[in-house]
Amino acid sequence: MARIQLPEGCYGLDLADGTKYSGKPGTKIEVSDEHARTINKSWYGSTGVMRGEEHLAIGTKRARVCTTCIPSRRWNVWTTDCPRCGAATSEETS
């Protein structure tokens, strides 16, 4: 799941496939990874109004990154091999 920051005054999203997400203005809502990619490619994503972002590692302050996957994927700090493509992960830089 990915997160989308709702702009002020926006109470949710009604997507073309009929999916509806609701939330409070100015808060983050969880959307599917597919919908986050669609939003990032849309006018909203290209202008910076809304941007889908992946969850950071849960319970850790750092993450490991797979730079082989496009876009780069972030995994839990203990994940040494990317679960998606099998490549080695590296420590995330600030």
**Cβ atoms within 10 A of the Cβ of 66, count?**
21
* Of the candidates 73, 66, 87, 67, the residue with the CA atom closest to the CA atom of residue 33: 73
| Structural domain boundaries, residue 9 | 2-54
Q: Are residues 9 and 46 in the same domain?
A: yes
Q: Are residues 65 and 49 in the same domain?
A: no
pLDDT in tens, the chain (94 residues): 788 888 889 999 998 899 999 999 988 898 888 888 888 888 888 888 887 776 554 556 778 888 888 777 888 888 889 888 889 998 887 6
Q: Are residues 66 and 92 in the same domain?
A: yes
Q: Are residues 24 and 50 in the same domain?
A: yes
Is the Cβ–Cβ distance between 72 and 84 less than 8 Å? no
CA dihedral 40, 58, 5, 33 (to 10 degrees): 30
Starting at the edge strand found earlier in the chain, the sheet holding 90-91 runs: 73-76, 63-66, 90-91
The whole-model pTM stands at 0.53
Q: Are residues 11 and 39 in the same domain?
A: yes
pLDDT of residue 72: 75
pLDDT of residue 24: 92
Q: Are residues 44 and 62 in the same domain?
A: no
Q: Are residues 48 and 62 in the same domain?
A: no
Q: Are residues 7 and 43 in the same domain?
A: yes
Q: Are residues 71 and 47 in the same domain?
A: no
> How many domains does one find in the chain?
2
pLDDT of residue 92: 81
